[in-house]
Amino acid sequence: MTPVVVSVKEKVVSAVVRLSCAVIGPPPVTLPDVEAGRGGEWSADVAGTASPKVQLIAKTEFFPPEDVPWSTDADGGEALAEFAGRACYQSWKKPNPKTATNAGYIDHIIEVGHLSVLEHGSATFYITGISRSLTHELIRHRHFSYSQLSQRYVPERDAAFVEPEVIANDPELHEKFLAAAQASVDAYTELLTGLEDKFADAPSATLRRKQARQAARAVLPNATETRIVVTGNYRAWRHFVAMRATEHADVEIRALAVECLRQLQKVAGNVFADFTISTLPDGTEIASSPKVLEG
């Protein structure tokens, strides 16, 4: 099951989405007087749907040293991982045909657990349309680097909310969720107005707004939509996928892990080739590898 993104400001728009950006589930409920969320930054199509996005925004570039008698059939982080591994033993020649290619070499270092060389390559994603509940779990992965939307500086009057599909597919529960989301925005807006008046004598407008927002955000739920930049080395990404793409993980973060894996397999296919994606009976996806040695 995948989440629903609900955009709330005075009235509500609900949308059912997958991280792969395919729209699924029941038709969206659209009420009049809907305004774009957060100053118009929230992307919505003509059907009123908004899709979580995982966008690759940076990856490793490798410049092989000219004085080393070695070459490979890959580039970027994959080539860097091989170079780092060979540098440990100065094994620039390739007498073993099984490790003569980049794919063969990386497969071997994964198999023997020489994973430190995978820490030299990295990938960065800009992830939007996910819940604060998800990022509370995400930031437990300590080897990633994060830059997340600040609720102290960004007002949440136009907040969007991520609704679990199990709730969205039940009309009665869906209405309760919409009501709760609306109530939280109403409470936030009222608190924010009162707090801005309370801090009217603050020495600067920026300080006044920050003090008001940091207090008013206390009533916003885990379902509040957020945006985050995540950078991780290949080893950290492998660990994230191994831990979060299993059927035991929360549905929302599992979908994120599977989508990240798909994009990582395009960026550094040899590093993530051992992972396979499969579909569970309920239609959701998982990913696994027989070569994951750390948990």
Contacts of 29 (CB under 8 A, 6+ apart): 12, 13, 14, 178
List, edge to edge, every strand of the sheet that includes 225-233: 53-59, 122-131, 225-233, 145-148
Q: Which of 18, 217, 244, 254 is catalytic?
A: 244
Angular region, 230: left φ>0, alpha ψ -120 to 50, beta rest: beta
Secondary structure letter of residue 219 according to DSSP: G
Burial of 238 (0-12, 13-18, 19+ CB in 10 A): buried
Helix 76-89 and helix 102-112, axial crossing angle in degrees, nearest 10? 60
**Other residues' Cβ atoms within 10 Å of the Cβ of residue 52:** 25
Task: Judge whether 244 counts as a catalytic residue.
Answer: yes
Helix (H, G, I), strand (E, B) or coil at 269: helix
Helix (H, G, I), strand (E, B) or coil at 198: helix
Distance CA 201, CA 232 (A): 43
Distance CA 227, CA 148 (A): 6
Whether the Cβ atoms of residue 222 and residue 110 lie closer than 8 Å to each other: no
Q: List, by residue number, the catalytic residues.
A: 244
